Structure 1
Amino acid sequence: MASSSSLSKPNTTFSLALLRKLSEDNNTANIFFSPFSISSALAMVMLGARGDTATQISEVILYFDIWSMSSCTVLFFSYTKVYFIFTRELNNPEAKFVLSVANRLFGEKSYSFLQPVLLCNGRASFIGQILEIPYEGKVLSMLIFLPRQIEDNETGLKKLEDLLTAETFMEWTHPHEMERGEIVVKLPRFKLEEKYDLNKVLSSMGMVDAFDETKCDFSGMSSNKGLFLSQVSHKAFVEVNEEGTEAAAATGNLVADSVSFFTADHPFLFFIRNRITKTILFAGRFCSP
């Protein structure tokens, strides 16, 4: 049985790589996407790919690291079931398809923030603060990476992004690095709804043949030659409202000798993660309302 860390590392690596790619054109833009959903959709496509096309997809989403793990058996069969439905429809000449993944997550009652709040005061503190806010039910949590406010007349966000790898992410958010405490949290209300055409981004990451009608090989999906991905689009939505913010800012019944302050009044990175599997479901960068 694979450990949660061995399963989460490929997901974290892909999440951060995609975050960097989406940041390249505009380093001050808001960003929000679901790396888990994108990689899941591409994994489904990969089942019907062959040769270099399949290899390139697997190398981008890093699924070659986890397909052989026994804990992924259920996930694999889930993909396979969807895949057979997809191919059955695909071979219908009247069908038209766009690979599109939409995600929504609200800071409402069903996903309200829950105490206790954890703050990173370990080795990562030199780059800023890392706050973990568990959601109700404690399965999901929001991790906020807040860089130091001013560095060379700019926010320290770029320095943080440059230092962030799968290894540092997992190290900085390890339970040994996080401390429970009485924390006064000031987090802005925000709503992000982002849509991306991922063709160029995925191509730049190495997934080239899937978009090239002359090179692609999806013979595992259909006997029709010339089948290729014409568009990969992704849409994600998140809202952190006053209710979530108030719950996050609540202080009480927390063990601490002193009160810490977490004031998110400048750009930050945030991630919504499964606390059990350590899988990043959503990733984002908040720069402005």
Structure 2
Amino acid sequence: MRAERTSFLLALGLLMAGIRSVHCLPENVVVKDQRRRVDSHTLASSNTDFAFSLYKQLALKNPNKNVMFSPLSVSMALAFLSLGARGPTLTEILEGLKFNLTEIQETQIHQGFQHLLQALNRPSNQLQLSVGNAMFVQEELKLLDKFIEDARVLYSSEAFPTNFRDSEAARSLINDYVKNKTQGKIEELFKYLSPRTVLVLVNYIYFKAQWKTRFDPKHTEQAEFHVSKNKTVEVPMMTLDLETPYFRDKELGCMLVELTYSSNDSALFILPDEGKMQDLEAKLTPETLTRWRNSLQPRRIHELYLPKFSIKSNYELNDTLSQMGIKKIFTDADLSGITGTADLVVSQVVHGAALDVDEEGTEGAAATGIGIERTFLRIIVRVNRPFLIAVVLKDTQSIIFLGKVTNPSEA
């Protein structure tokens, strides 16, 4: 029993930091329209696929560190951006979000996010959940009427005129907006904004729920948490005796425990066997998650030990998204659906997240910001094949060197 407890403590922090954030759609949402149900399933499957793909990239960049993010916030912000994308830029965003465009149309994707927003913002006495979008627009930037209307109808986006020439004032305006919408959990989404910025898209999420079976604070004690084989830290460890869904996956070598909130939403804890975290991470897929959920069965857990923690993370996602195939938005973007002209490019995608777990329940918040700049004609010359070179003296127009380079690596 002691070995099992030790294994539980070893990996729980990383698990809660990354994998739990997959949960995005309340399970008590009932969709009456059959066609919409198919769209909702496709949206959830694609969002889960994107969640695990982004998790793997962030975990790879931050080995042996906490990983905390909201895949739903990132995917919704990028889908919001895609309203203004055209051609290959649009295809790249949607395929990067793991949508199969031979099976689902762009309009269905946006309608899916629209329905998801409506479902998530449905009033509840047992759950505080707020999800929303906003855009901050340079005062003289003329947006297309269709983009403004689609942003309002499909993504419930507010719009705020902003003077980005005063970049510090603009940054404070956006950060204060996000801080207010996330109940103070995300204080500084943007660390920097360029004066060349003309548009910022923002998504925010705030979540607070109480456990159906709460932990007794009197039973919380300091205990060892095994970060690695060579490192142990002291943490406040909560404990509980309860019946809850449980599954031992012998195939992948892990245990799963699902803790339910009073709203009937849930947190899923996936605990790999000692030394098996990376093996498990490599096998995270939507199909794996579906199999886990279908395998969970109520079991009595006589001693559940769970660390009490508060984790915050901040990410700049430009390179990460590029590695996931979403590249054009940063270089040769076609965002002509925003203003009617192809002179906009994404300068930065930033993300912040926070998650607190204690005896009462869970409180979390996240926000994603997309900064967009106006770009002039971008001429790119990549000298990556054989070329000629002539060195000319300006005053006499004398050619003092002339040559051909076929292999720069040869002396």
Which TM-score applies when normalising by structure 1? 0.70
Give the % identical residues: 30
User: Could you tell me how far 1:14 is from its partner in structure 2?
Assistant: 0.3
Structure 1: gaps spanning 5 or more residues = 150-154, 246-271, 273-280, 283-289
Alignment-derived partner of residue 171 in structure 1: 291
**Are the equivalent residues in 2 in contact too, given 1:101–1:233 (CA < 8 A)?**
no
Alignment partners' CA distance in 2, 1:69 and 1:126: 38
Equivalent position of 2:62 in the other structure: 26
Distance in 1 (CA, whole Å) between partners of 2:201 and 2:49 is 23
The 5 A counterparts of 1:204-219 are 204-212=323-331, 215-219=332-336
* Cα distance, 1:145–1:66 mapped onto 2, change above 3 Å: farther
Instruction: Label 1:126 to 1:198 Cα distance change in 2 as closer, same or farther (>3 A).
Output: closer
**Greater relative contact order (Cα 8 A, min sep 6): structure 1 or 2?**
1
> What's 2:245 paired with?
118
From 261, 269, 286, the equivalent of 1:135 is 261
Q: Mark the CA change 1:87 to 1:239 in structure 2 (over 3 Å): closer, same or farther.
A: closer
Aligned residue in 1 for 2:271: 146
Equivalent of residue 182 in structure 1, options 295, 300, 307: 300
C-alpha displacement of 1:98:
3.7
CA–CA distance in structure 1, aligned partners of residues 349 and 282 of structure 2? 27
* Distance (Å, rounded) in 2 between the aligned partners of 1:225 and 1:48: 10
Q: In the aligned structure 1, how far is the partner of 2:91 from the partner of 2:309?
A: 39
Measure the CA separation in 2 of the matches of 1:5 and 1:27.
32
C-alpha separation between the residues in 2 aligned to 1:220 and 1:92? 22
Counterpart of 1:187 in 2: which secondary structure? strand
Quick check: 1:99–1:233 contact (8 Å CA) kept in 2? no
2:111 pairs, out of 73, 85, 88, with 73
The counterpart of 1:14, out of the listed 27, 50, 53, is 50
TM-score for the superposition, normalised by structure 2: 0.50
Alignment map for 1:60-99 (pairs within 5 Å): 60-63=96-99, 64=101, 66-67=104-105, 73=111, 75-76=113-114, 80-82=150-152, 96-99=198-201
**Over aligned residues, Cα RMSD in angstroms?**
3.3
Q: Kindly provide the amino acid, as one letter, of the partner of residue 314 in structure 2.
A: K
**Matching residue of 1:259:** none
Which structure 2 residue ranges, 5 or more long, are not aligned? 1-34, 118-132, 134-149, 166-196, 214-242, 367-411
- The equivalent residue for 1:202 is 321
Asked if the contact 2:252/2:280 (under 8 Å) is kept, the reply is no
How many correspondences in the alignment?
233
Which has the larger strand fraction? 2
> Alignment partner for residue 192 of structure 1, among 279, 295, 311?
311
